[in-house]
Amino acid sequence: MSGKALKIAISGKGGVGKTSLAAMLARHLAATGRRVIAVDADPVASLGAALGIAGHEDILPIARMHDLIHERTGAEPGKMGGFFKMNPKVDDIPDNYAAVKDNVHLLVMGTVDHGGSGCVCPEAVMLKALLTHLTLFQDDALVMDMEAGVEHLGRATTKGIDLMIIVVEPGARSINAAKMIRKLAADIGLTRIAVVANKVRGPEDEAALRAALPDFELLGFMTYDPKLVEADLAGQLAYPDGFPAPITTVLDAIITHAAA
């Protein structure tokens, strides 16, 4: 295959299925021949589990890789002040520090839990560089599983994103969250946004979601599937033998839209 690199972020209210979708999209992109960088940007990391990566519980988040951050920024993590490089080298990180399965390279970002949102500390500089300066080659794809809600939506995390998917489920709360996310995204210049509906139980849900989101681009509907709940309960990969055709259709719609 041959095509331009893609950067797709997945956002939405808590529990709507962001991580499930991010994992399926990453697996599908990899199955179609791309090198995929899957970024878990949620401090409560769960993308590794959804990808079925063995030992995902033990992955050390990048923000906790003190030696690496020290080496690349020239500063001791956890210490404020002093001088450090604002553009640390990051291009080797997917190859050397990601957990890999079937051409999906998982990077767990972790939390920068001091200094507040405006933190200019080595950990934050490192994560920001990873999200903004990582060189993606032709046929690469980056899929970012975002934290629920809107507070974390920043220029640094969303820079260069080709498409941000907002996942909604039948219910007013996720619809309101979608509207808030779109507004905040527009404030920081991110306007390439589309919605994917999840946990849809039937035509009534579909109609209600269409009516509630009249001016959103709706890329597809994924049905409520108890198999996904069972897989999560058992800590197993969802659809290990391939995705049902309707899900593949939604995944392809996302890719086509992002590439347009």
Ligand X SMILES: Nc1ncnc2c1ncn2[C@@H]1O[C@H](COP(=O)(O)OP(=O)(O)OP(=O)(O)O)[C@@H](O)[C@H]1O
Residues near ligand X (CB under 6 A): 12, 14-20, 42, 46, 148, 198-199, 222, 224-225, 228-229, 232
Min dist CB 226 to ligand X, Å, is 6
Between residues 36 and 93, which has the closer beta carbon with respect to ligand X? 36
How many residues in the shown chain lie near Mg ion by CB under 5 A?
2
Give the residue from 81, 76, 56 showing the smallest Cα distance to 66. Answer: 76
Q: How far is CA 152 from CA 8, 9, 148, 182, 239, in A?
A: 16, 13, 9, 13, 31
Residue 34's binding partner, choosing from Mg ion, ligand X, none, with beta-carbon cut-off 5 to 8 A by kind?
Answer: none
| Distance of closest approach, residue 202 Cβ to ligand X, in angstroms | 13
Q: Which is nearer to ligand X, 98 or 228 (CB)?
A: 228
Q: Does 158 bind Mg ion (CB under 5 A)?
A: no
Q: Quick one: which segment of 15-23, 59-67, 178-186, 225-233 binds Mg ion (CB under 5 A)?
A: 15-23
Distance CA 190, CA 197 (A): 20
170 binds, among ligand X, Mg ion, none (CB under 5 to 8 A by kind): none
CB of 53 to ligand X, least distance (A): 15
Among 19, 73, 158, 174, binds Mg ion (CB under 5 A): 19
CB of 93 to Mg ion, least distance (A): 22
* Nearest residue (CB) to Mg ion, 7 versus 18: 18
Q: Which is nearer to ligand X, 16 or 37 (CB)?
A: 16
Compute and round to an integer the Cα radius of gyration of the chain.
Answer: 18
Give the whole-angstrom CA distance, residue 21 versus residue 42: 14
Least distance (Å) from ligand X to the CB of residue 111? 14
Binding site residues, Mg ion, CB under 5 A: 18-19
